[in-house]
Structure 1
């Protein structure tokens, strides 16, 4: 487009319009003569920045010509491809870098304040996040064990790139989910796994309780008079007013479980 302020203004108006506008409407909005507006619209049309639509006439007469801005792609697919190629040839390092990038993204994202105190809470936070990002998530309740939740991702904004660079695209999404859940209190309690392309157009997110959390919940269930366990973000073996859970010192098995959970994060 040539450096023309009137044409830039017309294009901005059309981009913000919810429906096509004709030359007379644009002339009224801009204060320009309708002949001048038609001239600029012809230039924008020839440059493929504006598209014409036939509209019904107002009263009697010939159909009107409406104009709408052509929405151009910003090229995110190409940009993602370039970024993926810059992460180096080692798939493992590419995956680690992508997960780190996803966590950085998650730390900057406004994910709301939804305390995660159960696996069901973790599912709700994850489904909300994926919905807002365009993944069209669906919970798969068929064959779910008690300590796992499966979420189907039926859409992906970068699916074509994920087919060739799944370690990068899925790594970013995995880091993002982990960071958002951690920010809401699930650190050390929920493992997140992402399984790409379990079907040609389907990926699956699997949320599961960590070994430390499962052991703690089993112990709580077996203890008389204990109705429910502590929130997910409470340390696996918490200090109480009567001393440490399990006696004066951590038992070896408990220490091993805590170490395993820490290594996972």
Structure 2
């Protein structure tokens, strides 16, 4: 989900009845019907149906259909619409963090280190570089380098010497494990830049209140769809 979609999904829980219905559904071991939910909360069935469907539209719940009588064939009636928790994960953080990304990179790196014999740090850096390359390939789809950096939580701030990154997506991890996480961040951004066509490089320049990585060189002046941007090193 995009950040905007995640905010919208969480915002629907502000309505008290809707939030109570969500808590009821996720607290049940089996999918629940509209009648179940209405009876449990003491509200009209139409009200329960409205809010349950809204929760489904926002991706917080999923639905399935089942004949609860156990009967099948002609005369068994229509299956009941049932609600259960969605498998979709929704995270909101301000400023934006990407701890799930860090977890995936670190877990994959441990597997690589065990199977190939490289050091864990080498494996982390390689995985981060590869992930950065996937972000670089998204530049065309998202409109440009700055948009990709923004989408992944770096809060880019172009200046005369390059691009400052005002937010670290892995801030808590970087605070406790600076050498490991800042190195991972450096290789991630470097991987992104290698897919582009511009004289940009990633450097470690720790600065209070910012990401430890800075992009040096002049960023592209346009984000036109037919322009490409990449590092010379």
Q: Indicate the TM-score class for this superposition, using the shorter chain for normalisation.
A: 0.3 to 0.5
| TM-score, scaled to structure 1 | 0.40
Name the larger-Rg structure: 1
